[in-house]
Chain A
Amino acid sequence: MRKIRSRLLLIGVLVIGAIWALIPTNSTIRVRDATTGRMKDSTVRRVPINLGLDLQGGIHLALEVDQSKGQVPDPAEAIRRAERVVRTRIDEFGVTEPVVQVVGGNRLIVELAGEKDPSRAKSIIQRTAFLEFRITDMKNLFRDAIPQMDGALRAAGVSPTTGGGGAATPSAVSQLFGGDTSKAKPAPGKKGKTPAAAPPKPDTSFLNQPGALSALLFQGSLPGEFLVPEEQVPVAESLLARPEVQRLMPRGFELRWGTEVESRGARPYRALYAVEEKPIITGEELEKASARRDQLTNQSVVDFVLSRRGGRIFERETARHVNDYMAIILDGRVQGQPPVIKSEIGQRGQIELGNKSLQEANDLALVLRAGALPAPLTIVEERTIGPTLGRDSINDGIRAGAVGVILVVLIMVIYYRTSGILAVAALGFYALFTLAGLAGFGFTLTLPGLAGLALSVGIATDANVLIFERIREELQHGKLVRTAVDEGFKHAMSAIVDSNVSTALTAFILYLVGTGPVQGFAITLIIGIIASMITAVFVVRTFYMIWLERRPDMVTLSI
């Protein structure tokens, strides 16, 4: 009796756990706004089982090569290469069995099943992932050019912005020079030189007044770093893009914005870096990248390994630049604050992402691993899309499946009578556990997955058939009911275990080697096999124990 109680307790815990996993939760889906016709994110409450594109539909994205920022010589070739890269990236993103398809030679269709986080998916698809390491402006050449640029801007009729905080802080650059604790050269000497070196001075009064740029750019804590008040970023961007400013840019240097907004005092600032034009190394030499959380500093870190050749170049360059700052630039954006090169670095290195989440670090590692897009892609169309199979086929399939299940139940109950009812009840538990397994691990259920489930239902019934037939054999040999049940379970076990383990091993290999649909099949099959082992063997055995406990004098078994 105590044995039964602990078994029932375990089953109870499993059932509660399964129901817990199936409680409807909030999830974000992408829907079309009925009034505006635009796409928007919407939150719905539903059972957390993800259905694939074939069963549920999802979002449809059409992507084209973005030519706005420069001509791409062969867009058709670029799209074909992008197809491969996007497919790898999405496959690594999770088992969602996406559609990645070239259309009409110049467009790429990406379809994702009811994607939980559409914006994250989109950013992963679109990221070009061009990684480069560049040394910052160690000699402060850009800073020294700012007054000249201000002069040029003044000549062009641009005055310092009024309103906003930038202009309210006069001569920000010179003020911050004093506080510069980095290894920047002493500011005053430089400062004296600059006006003298400046070309014709149309108006000397600008020396006392802050220029348009120097009012916006605050020297940061390391050479080549400037801070711009967040709300002034667009202004600074447009000023810096003007031809008269570009002309005065120190040779061999470029400006790159940082990714992060940091607060100095009460105001948010964005970092701007003057970096060397030529990278010391690019992501092409990158071979591996993986994300982790640093145990000591609790920072998210991406470890990377360079190719042999890349390692040699990197070692030579970093040796040349010891004590310099190196900006890590991804897709033109400086990631975090440039670290100082403490000593020469070889094939292995790491990118510290500070307090960013591990997921972001994972996404970065993923994009670095999966390779760079040959050209930037832009989303030209976004729509919700219905299931690939079509609603008509799904309804037919559900009806046919229901008929199939009814047939199985009828056969089991007619053939095995009360024992058959126990087996059917166990199948109910099986369905609950399997669905909970799919929900708990966040797997996507597709039609090949349903095939896997159907197979595991067959395996679950088969396990009961094996046990029941064995009990019948034992009864035929003249054994008592109780002994026959015990022996039946005992002898059927080796067949059940061996057949299930080898099928599960096969499924596991399919998962490791296969892609999308093959993996979906394998995962549902593995979950189904585990659930069927629990229900067909453990649950049915418990049912029998209770039955025999209640009717100890039973002479013939209803089987």
Chain B
Amino acid sequence: MLRLFANAKYDFIKWRRWAYALTAAIIVPGFLLFLVHGLNYSIEFTGGTLIQVETHTGVGTGKIRSALDAAGIHDAEIQTFGADSVFVIRARLSGESRSIEGGGTQQTAQAVSRALDAGIGAGQYRIDRTEAVGPKVGRELQGKAFLAIFFSFLVTLVYLAIRFEWRFGLAAVLATFHDILTTIAFIRYLNLEVSLIVVGAVLTMVGYSLNDTIIIFDRVRENLRKFRRQNLYEILNLSINETLPRSVLTHGTTMATTLALVLLAGEVLRPFALVMTFAIFTGTFSSVYIAAPVLMAIEKRWPGKDARGARTLRPAGTAAPETPPRSPEPQPTR
């Protein structure tokens, strides 16, 4: 039987201050950069220039894309339009040249034209029209995505308060919020383009991180009932160690998939794959080093009626007696 990390006894919680420092070192500069420069939104959000090109046969989207990439126009959308030899290119220039009012359209068209001259040869294509295009995605999407995440936090809080205890819910939501911050910092560091699919990756991250945190919390809930004499510090460590084989395997398989995407899925999907890979990393990290220690901190700050800490985190549904009842047997989990 192949088993990794079985019966591990690492003291994860001991390293929490280092973890806080590390994550702060990632988030703070990244967030400052984000506040100063904002994010690099894709053409779907900003709009750009639409260029309709007619080519001779045998020129595919791949060839046009590599021509544009070679000329430094990276985030173009290339679609066939009606016939197979007609293409619509939605492109925009990167960097400062983008900010030129009005003149941007002409410049982008010229840049695309130069790129095509180099890539597929002058005279091998004809530009049918160039026009400025507005954003495809309304600004409201951004606001709505954040609103949606905010409300989903509320619902998570309520659900976990019912199934676990409000302290667990708060810790899980804080850990997920931490992941959103680190992901924004990550996107900012690599200056990745925020397109719709990257928004999808961030949403996936929220789901993944929450999932992972709850798996560990479930074990904490179980162990709190099983081991009545240990304190929360010990129980958290025990639970993380017990779920370690599962964590390694699950994150290993998902990471294998996203790394395959990073390496093989090409330029267009790479930002998405990178964010997904980072999401698995930060989701795992935060479940162990943010959710668990934060749960402990919350418990310390707002302890329950039992001063021993761990005992106050009662399983859901049981009453809150003045003196907790002693149960000789570990209670079965539900």
Q: Which residues of A contact B (CB under 8 A)?
A: 32, 54, 57, 60, 83-84, 87, 99-105, 107, 109, 383-393, 396-397, 399-401, 403-405, 407-408, 411-412, 414-415, 447-448, 451-452, 454-455, 457-459, 461-462, 465-466, 469, 472-473, 476, 491, 494-495, 498-503, 505-510, 512-518, 521-522, 525, 559
Contact = CB atoms under 8 A, between A and B. Distances in A.
Nearest to A558: B1
Nearest to A409: B253
Interface in B268-300: 268-269, 272-273, 276
A415 B2 contact: yes
B109 to A, nearest CB: 13
A502 B210 contact: yes
7 contacts: A101-B134, A109-B133, A387-B79, A404-B261, A462-B211, A517-B196, A517-B200
A182 B151 CA distance: 58
Interface stretch (B8-16, B142-150, B177-185): B142-150
Contacts of B70: none
Nearest to B203: A521
B141 to A, nearest CB: 5
B246 A466 contact: yes
B62 interface: yes
A557 B231 CA distance: 36
Contacts of A385: 79-82, 88
Sorting the interface of chain B by its residue count into under 10, 10 to 19, 20 to 34 or 35 or more gives 35 or more
A495 B160 CA distance: 12
Contacts of B160: 498, 502
Given A385-B79, A503-B210, A505-B156, A400 B249 contact: no
B254 A458 contact: yes
Contacts of B82: 32, 383-385
Nearest to A381: B82
Contacts of A404: 256-258, 260-261
A492 to B, nearest CB: 9
A491 B330 CA distance: 14
Nearest to A500: B211
Interface in B192-244: 196-197, 199-201, 203-204, 206-208, 210-212, 214-215, 218-219, 221-222, 242-243
A495 B253 contact: no
B112 to A, nearest CB: 15
A458 B144 contact: no
Q: A-B pairs with the 7 shortest C-beta distances? A: A448-B200, A386-B80, A404-B257, A392-B62, A396-B266, A102-B134, A400-B264
A481 to B, nearest CB: 13
A502 B156 contact: yes
B126 to A, nearest CB: 17
B93 interface: no
Interface string B154-197: 01100110011000000000000000000000000000000011
A498 B214 CA distance: 7
Given A385-B81, A404-B261, A494-B334, A505 B155 contact: yes
B31 to A, nearest CB: 23
Given A451-B197, A514-B144, A390 B65 contact: yes
Nearest to B254: A458
Contact of B256 (A384, A408, A459, A518): A408
Contact of A102 (B133, B163, B268): B133
Given A502-B160, A502-B210, A400 B204 contact: no
B152 interface: yes
Contact of A518 (B145, B163, B207): B145
B322 to A, nearest CB: 28
Given A458-B253, A466-B215, A517-B196, 6 more contacts: A102-B133, A401-B260, A412-B253, A447-B196, A451-B203, A454-B257
B253 A411 contact: yes
A239 B60 CA distance: 56
B200 A388 contact: no
A397 B152 contact: no
A411 B269 contact: no
B117 interface: no
Contact of A451 (B6, B201, B268): B201
B286 to A, nearest CB: 15
B79 A396 contact: no
B265 interface: yes
A465 B197 contact: no
Contact of B246 (A405, A454, A465, A507): A465
B151 A459 contact: no
Given A400-B264, A458-B253, A495 B214 contact: yes
Given A455-B208, A510-B148, A518-B148, A407 B200 contact: no
A54 B148 CA distance: 23
A234 to B, nearest CB: 34
Nearest to B197: A447
B79 A390 contact: yes
B204 A454 contact: yes
Nearest to A466: B246
A515 B221 CA distance: 36
A141 to B, nearest CB: 49
Contacts of A403: 260, 264
B260 A400 contact: yes
A499 B80 contact: no
Contact of A506 (B140, B210, B218): B210
A455 B79 contact: no
A505 B266 CA distance: 33
Contacts of B61: 386, 390-393
Given A386-B61, A389-B268, A502-B210, A514 B145 contact: yes
Contacts of B203: 448, 451-452, 510, 518, 521-522
A472 B6 CA distance: 10
A513 B144 contact: yes
Contact of A459 (B197, B211, B260, B264): B211
B306 interface: no
Q: Which of B6, B134, B258 has the most CB of A within 10 A?
A: B134
A517 B141 contact: yes
A559 B3 CA distance: 10
A386 B132 contact: no
Contacts of B246: 462, 465-466, 469
Contacts of A391: 60-62, 80
B204 A451 contact: yes
Contacts of B136: 99-101
